[in-house]
Structure 1
Amino acid sequence: MEQTRWISLEGAVNVRDLGGLPTTDGRATRFGRVLRSDNLQGLTASDVALLSEELGVGHVIDLRSLAEVQREGPGPLTRLPGMTIHHLSLFVETQIAAGVEVDKALPWQSRTVQEDPEHKSVGFYHGYLRDRADSIVSALRVMAHEEGASIVHCAAGKDRTGVVSALALEVAGVAREAIIADYALTAERLDAILHRLLSSETYHADLRDRPTDSHLPHAFIMERFLHGLDRLHGGVLNWLAANGWNDDDTGALRSRLVR
């Protein structure tokens, strides 16, 4: 039976496998190693069974802020015996630690990321690298070293998840064009993603007055982000190495993700 990248769930709408993507040396990424997703709060019992029993997910990489987790809840996968949750926010969490009310410390309410002159999302993405390199390296190490499949998610499965997925695919040697195309693929599910998020008090106020087009994951955004990494840091591997990543990590991730 032909494997497909999209995974159909009742309680999440932007779930796909990072398998089947071409590498620069003529191989392809493995299915069943890393999944990427939007928020997992609405998973049904059948969704949980599919992910944990049929697809072998044993690790959840949750990129949401502490405020989001507190408001939305940790999700049903956290209640499974043997499921390991890795909460690795891509935002600085000092506001929560200082005792600020949760609803006043949502990450997008106080972002001071210097915007890229070409597109603000590119600036936000570089802000993840600047502010939470520790979380990014830890997320990639889960993918590289832990047994069982991993599912990485944020709220929409577009920006934070898109950046971490792109970095993992770069390390694995996936062709740049395929990485960019995977990022842009979320556009196919954007209406459904926004419908879900607008129904949540956590995200409604931020999204309600913004046009749908402003959320589109244009291919040029990821292209500019990765080009910026090349220009500023000499590529993904150099940036990772400067933040504690080593050759053993690279070998492990490539072995896990590439057949």
Structure 2
Amino acid sequence: MAEPRWVQLSGADNVRDLGGLPTDDGRAVQPGRLIRSANLQELTDDDVARLVEELHVRAVADLRTGVEVTNEGPGPLHHDARVDVRHFSLFPEAGEATDAARADDDSPVVLPWQEREQNETGGARPDAATVYLRYLDDRPDSVLATLRLIAGTDGATLVHCAAGKDRTGVVIAFALAEVGVTREAIVEDYVRSGEAIEAILARLFTRSTYAGDVDDPGAVDADKHRPRAGTMQRFLDELDARYGGPSAWLRRHGWTDADAQALRHHLLDPQD
């Protein structure tokens, strides 16, 4: 298993280039093709230069919901003409940026998962693997669109959500599985977000969008938010049991052999 290519930025956490992850046929993901991250709202000018000029980021797949995007406003990469920023929510959207709302400027933000937990589970949080499967039921279009963006981008695609571990973890797992990255490497990469969990929570707690959903980092054991290997293993096992695996799920929703070939070519083949 390759060591993670952590990308140290002043304004974002949990950023890493997935180059080096091994495939079952002895190949590896090429560096500078796929990057994962937490929220990008606080990128500095130097961070943007590092991502765009050094790491050649040319597309961003933003997996946050409409309310997050609206409440946070345009991030620094929106202002760089070299980068194509796309929004692919993994929650149902009742209309543009209306999947959740707040009553007025002084009211706390109500995020979609909070509303769902209250309405459907009486406030109890379901386990993470169940939440991940729900993403697939709700927004298969966003999963496929993100993978097609990755495959069609001339340069690196950066995939992110708020923390960069759950929504991002699901979509990255599909991308890696589809090009043949080993199951062990997929799980280990998912778990590595735990190495940044303290920084992730501390930064989110300072954002008005997330402050009501994130425990005070100084008063909570961050370990309860840390991603577990068993969660991703259960998620992938459930995909195997229900659909025959990630590739079969993708094809059930319109993914083609040409799509798979393009993704594999982009992520695995060296530059000419």
TM-score bracket relative to the smaller structure: over 0.9
- For the 8 Å contact 2:100–2:112, the answer to whether it is kept is no
**Residues 72-108 of structure 1: per-residue CA shift (max 9 Å, x gap):** 1221000011311110011111175489547554212
Name the structure 2 match of 1:6.
6
For structure 1, the 5+ residue unaligned runs are none
Give the direction of change, closer, same or farther, for the CA distance of 1:182–1:99 in structure 2 (3 Å limit): closer
For 1:170, the equivalent position in structure 2 comes to 177
Choose which of 191, 194, 202 in structure 1 pairs with 2:201. Answer: 194
Is the CA contact (8 Å cut-off) linking 2:15 and 2:35 kept in structure 1?
yes
Greater mean alpha carbon deviation, residues 22-31 or residues 102-111:
102-111
Q: Which one of the candidate residues 223, 226, 229 is aligned to 2:239?
A: 229
Higher helix share: 1
Question: Partner residue of 2:223?
Answer: 213
Superposed CA offset, 1:9-42 (max 9, x none): 1101110011101100111110000100000000
Give the structure 1 partner of residue 55 of structure 2: 55
- 5 Å matches for 1:97-116? 97=98, 100-101=101-102, 105-111=110-116
* Aligned length, in residue pairs: 254
Q: Which residue of 1 aligns with 2:27?
A: 27
Q: In structure 2, the residue corresponding to 1:24 is in which secondary structure?
A: coil
Q: 2:165 aligns with which of 158, 161, 169?
A: 158
What's the offset of the Cα at 1:231? Answer: 0.4
Task: Quote the Cα distance in structure 2 between the aligned partners of 1:164 and 1:35.
Answer: 12
SS of the residue corresponding to residue 86 of structure 2 reads strand
1:99–1:6 Cα change, 3 Å: closer
Q: Which moved more, 1:155-164 or 1:208-217?
A: 208-217
Residue 22 of structure 1: SS of its match in structure 2? coil
**1:42 and 2:42 equivalent?**
yes
> Aligned equivalents of 2:158 and 2:99: distance in 1?
30
- Asked whether the equivalents of residues 100 and 110 of structure 2 are also in contact (C-alpha less than 8 Å), the reply is no
Partner of 1:203: 210
Query: Aligned-pair RMSD on alpha carbons?
Result: 2.0
1:126, 1:159 → 2: CA distance?
11
Deviation at 1:150, TM superposition (A): 0.5
Aligned equivalents of 1:111, 1:225: Cα separation in 2: 20
Tell me the TM-score normalized by structure 2: 0.88
Percent sequence identity is 50
Partner of 2:133: 126
- The 3-state SS of whatever aligns with 2:211 is helix
On the 8 A contact 2:67/2:99 being kept in 1, the answer is: no
Instruction: Report the AA paired with residue 75 of structure 1.
Output: G
Matches of 1:64 and 1:248, distance apart in 2:
28
Task: Note closer, same or farther for the CA distance 1:7–1:99 as it changes in structure 2 (3 Å cut).
Answer: closer
Task: Determine the C-alpha separation between the residues in 2 that align with 1:139 and 1:98.
Answer: 20
Choose 36-45 or 139-148, whichever is displaced more: 139-148
Equivalent-residue separation in structure 1 for 2:11 and 2:109 (angstroms):
27
The AA in structure 1 aligned to 2:170 is: V
With over 3 angstroms needed to count, the CA separation of the structure-2 counterparts of 1:23 and 1:10, relative to structure 1, is: same
Could you report, residue by residue, the CA deviation over 1:52-73 in whole angstroms, capped at 9, with x for unpaired residues?
A: 1111111010000010011112
Corresponding position of 1:239: 249
Q: Give the AA of the match of 2:264.
A: R
Unaligned runs of 5+ in 2: none
